[in-house]
Structures are given as structure tokens and as C-alpha cells.
């Protein structure tokens, strides 16, 4: 069976040695401390700050998932997942991705948002891909904002990005993307609030995280947890992502920078091919626990199964009886646990 993906999946035992935090590309002492997420400063103040950027080495295995026509990236051989592991870094950090191609097809890894030389682009036109069986390292850098003329700044790398194959099937990786070779990439600005959990949700043709109608992911959190959503669009179709009972500012963080932040607040946003966005909400804030729908708002898409459940449990982790009934109504049987990246574990 295909695995729930990711770096931070619920550990099966306390002995699991890697954790979500280790994948934040931050070797420096200061970066992985709890204080970081709440640091007051959000402005890079000196070149020295940039100099603190850490380099994180990650090995990713691209593999077929069992005998299906699905493929995934994984952190361990034999454990490909869809989506692939959530990768995170701070502005200024570097990530060295050693990609092991354990398939019989040409493939690559192409990142949005970060900095790379052409040899790490992941595009066949740049001769940047792995032949079958080949191992190759892709280097992704990132940077903080820099002053431009006047009062303006060239933007830093922070954002809710993603990565995907750019070489399987066609020079754009259409077969690889269709079959599951994609994942989330978050570049954080120093001082950003860290969530308790991150959900990666990918609308890809008529599937969610490559799951068809009836087996779409169920995302779960306890009432009051700070939950981060990273939404990614792939394929060929028009999609819009709608979440019931929770809304976010349509800006970099999903929160307002202050009372004069002009951002639109929304609960429905276009999610078209190659796009991604993210936001944080407090699970059940203002609305309480329950089984809340998320779905594509293109009517024929939601009707044919591009829909799933965001289960907000009670604060103590128990499931409200009504929510259980609602989920049973939605599926007939409890859906499988979805991929969540739990920052608290």
C-alpha cells in the first residue's frame, strides 16, 4: 500500500529518530529553538544575519509505489509518499537535495521559489535530471529581502512553495506530476510564527493528493491548535480551494500584518496548475469542533469527489459524537488518516 507521506508523520514509536524540526534547514543553534517562532524581529537587519544561513543535506528517494502507476518522493528507500516530504528552510539557508532515482524512468526535482543554478533547475533543457538509477544532487539556496532603490525591497525567498518532477514523460514532467512526484516546500522568514501542524493538500486533475473520490485525505487537529495549510495546484484544470468555517488573509502568512493590512480575507481561492499558497488558522476558532468540509468549489468537481474532511476534535483530542456521525455520513466508513506534518510531535 502507498504510505502516508512525509517527514513528520505520526511516529510509530518513540524510537523514530528524525523529526520535523530536523528538516528545517537550520544547523545553527539559534534557529531550531522554540523562541524562534515567536521572535519579535521580522526584518533582516544586517548582512551578518544572512551569513547565519545553514546548509541542510537531505536524501530523497524517487520510487514507484508498489506495483501501481503511482510514484512518490520519500525520505527512506522503499517509503515513497504522495505528496513527498514537506521541506522547510529559513530565508538564507541552503538545502542540498540528493535525489536517488530508484525507477526505470528519467525524472528530476524542480523547486519553486528558491535559488538554484541551471544545473539544479531540474529541467531537461538544462540537462538537469536523473537517468534511471542515477543519483544527483540539487542545491537550493534562499535569501532575505534586500534593499532596492528608494524605499523598496527586492523580495526574499519566504513563501509557501512546492517542488515537483520536471522530466518524467515530457520535458515538463507531466507524467511525473500526474503520478505523484510533488511535495511542499516552505521558506520561512525569521520571526514567522510556527504552526503546530502543516497539511499539504494538492489538487491534481480530479484527485486530492492523488487520491480519487472516496479516499481523499482527512486532515485532523485538536480545537485550538495552530494549523497550517499548504495548497498546491497541478495538472490541467481550473480548481478553487474552499474550506468551511475557516478563513485567512490572502497574503504571505494568512494573518494580518497590522490593522492597516489591506489584504482580502477569503475562504475560497483559485488553485491552478503550478500555483501554491498557504495560511495558518486556529482549528475551530469561532466555530467549535466538528467535521468541516474542504473541497474544490467548481461544482462538478466537488460533486464528483474533490472533497474531504477537516476534523477538528475537542481540545482534549476526543471526537465529538456529532462529528463522528458527520464523517460516517460523508464516507460510510472512517477515511484513512491523512498526511499531516505535526510540529508538536
CB under 8 Å to 17, separation ≥6 — which residues?
Answer: none
Site for a copy of itself in 105-164 (CB under 8 A): 112-113, 115-119, 121, 123-127, 141, 143, 145, 148-159
The C-alpha atoms of residue 180 and residue 66 are separated, in whole angstroms, by 13
Name the helix (H) or strand (E) containing 302.
helix 299-303
Site for a copy of itself in 161-180 (CB under 8 A): 170-172, 174, 177-178
Binding flag, residue 35, a copy of itself (CB under 8 A): no
- DSSP letter string, 172-230: T-HHHHHHT-EEEEEEEPTTPPPPSEEEEEEEETTEETTB-TTS--EEEEETT-EEEEE
Q: How many residues bind a copy of itself (CB under 8 A)?
A: 106
3-state secondary structure of 278: strand
* Of residues 9 and 141, the one with the C-beta less far from a copy of itself: 141
Binding flag, residue 333, a copy of itself (CB under 8 A): no
Binding flag, residue 330, a copy of itself (CB under 8 A): yes
CB 232 within 8 A of CB 269: no
**What is the closest distance, in whole angstroms, from the C-beta atom of residue 123 to a copy of itself in the complex?**
6
Q: Cα 25–87–210 angle (5° rounding)?
A: 175
* Of residues 27 and 113, the one with the C-beta less far from a copy of itself: 113
Single out the residue of 326, 334, 336, 345 in contact with a copy of itself (rule: CB under 8 A): 326
CB 341 within 8 A of CB 198: yes
**What is the closest distance, in whole angstroms, from the C-beta atom of residue 234 to a copy of itself in the complex?**
7
Q: Is the peptide bond before 83 cis (omega within 30 degrees of 0)?
A: yes
* Of residues 18 and 153, the one with the C-beta less far from a copy of itself: 153
Contact letters for a copy of itself, residues 239-258 (x by CB under 8 A)? -x-x-xx-xxxxxxx-xxxx
Contact letters for a copy of itself, residues 194-233 (x by CB under 8 A)? ----------------------------------------
**What is the closest distance, in whole angstroms, from the C-beta atom of residue 9 to a copy of itself in the complex?**
26
**What is the closest distance, in whole angstroms, from the C-beta atom of residue 1 to a copy of itself in the complex?**
26
- DSSP letter string, 143-174: ---EE-STT-EE--S-EEEEEE-SSSSSTT-H
Amino acid at each position: 500500500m502507498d504510505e502516508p507521506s512525509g517527514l513528520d508523520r505520526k511516529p510509530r514509536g518513540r524510537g523514530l529518530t528524525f523529526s520535523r524540526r530536523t528538516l528545517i534547514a537550520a544547523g545553527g543553534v539559534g534557529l531550531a529553538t522554540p523562541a524562534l517562532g515567536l521572535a519579535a524581529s521580522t526584518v533582516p537587519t544586517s548582512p551578518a544575519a544572512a551569513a547565519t544561513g545553514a546548509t541542510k543535506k537531505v536524501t530523497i528517494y524517487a520510487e514507484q509505489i508498489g506495483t501501481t502507476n503511482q510514484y512518490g518522493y520519500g525520505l527512506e528507500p522503499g517509503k515513497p509518499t504522495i505528496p513527498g516530504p514537506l521541506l522547510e528552510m529559513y530565508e538564507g539557508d541552503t538545502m542540498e537535495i540528493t535525489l536517488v532515482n530508484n525507477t526505470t524512468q528519467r525524472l528530476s526535482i524542480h523547486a519553486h521559489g528558491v535559488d538554484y543554478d541551471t544545473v539544479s533547475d531540474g529541467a531537461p533543457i538544462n540537462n538537469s535530471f536523473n537517468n534511471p538509477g542515477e543519483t544527483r544532487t540539487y542545491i537550493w539556496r534562499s535569501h532575505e529581502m534586500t534593499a532596492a532603490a528608494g524605499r523598496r525591497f527586492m523580495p526574499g525567498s519566504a513563501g509557501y512553495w512546492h517542488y515537483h518532477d520536471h522530466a518524467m514523460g515530457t520535458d515538463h514532467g507531466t507524467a511525473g506530476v500526474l503520478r505523484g512526484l510533488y511535495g511542499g516546500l516552505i521558506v520561512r522568514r525569521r520571526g514567522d510564527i510556527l504552526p503546530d501542524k502543516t497539511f499539504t493538500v494538492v489538487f491534481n486533475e480530479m484527485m486530492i493528493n492523488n487520491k480519487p473520490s472516496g479516499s481523499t485525505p482527512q486532515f485532523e487537529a485538536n480545537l485550538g491548535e495552530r494549523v497550517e495549510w499548504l495548497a498546491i495546484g497541478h495538472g490541467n484544470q481550473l480548481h478553487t480551494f474552499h474550506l468551511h468555517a475557516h478563513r485567512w488573509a490572502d497574503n504571505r502568512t494568512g494573518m494580518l500584518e497590522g490593522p492597516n493590512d489591506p489584504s482580502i480575507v477569503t475562504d475560497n481561492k483559485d488553485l491552478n496548475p503550478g500555483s501554491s499558497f498557504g495560511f495558518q488558522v486556529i482549528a475551530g476558532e469561532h466555530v467549535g469542533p466538528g467535521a468541516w468540509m474542504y473541497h474544490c468549489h467548481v461544482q462538478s468537481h466537488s460533486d464528483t469527489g474533490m472533497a474531504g474532511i477537516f476534523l477538528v476534535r475537542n481540545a482534549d483530542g476526543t471526537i465529538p459524537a456529532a462529528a463522528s456521525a458527520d464523517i460516517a455520513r460523508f464516507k460510510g466508513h472512517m477515511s484513512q488518516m491523512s498526511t499531516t506534518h505535526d510540529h508538536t510531535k
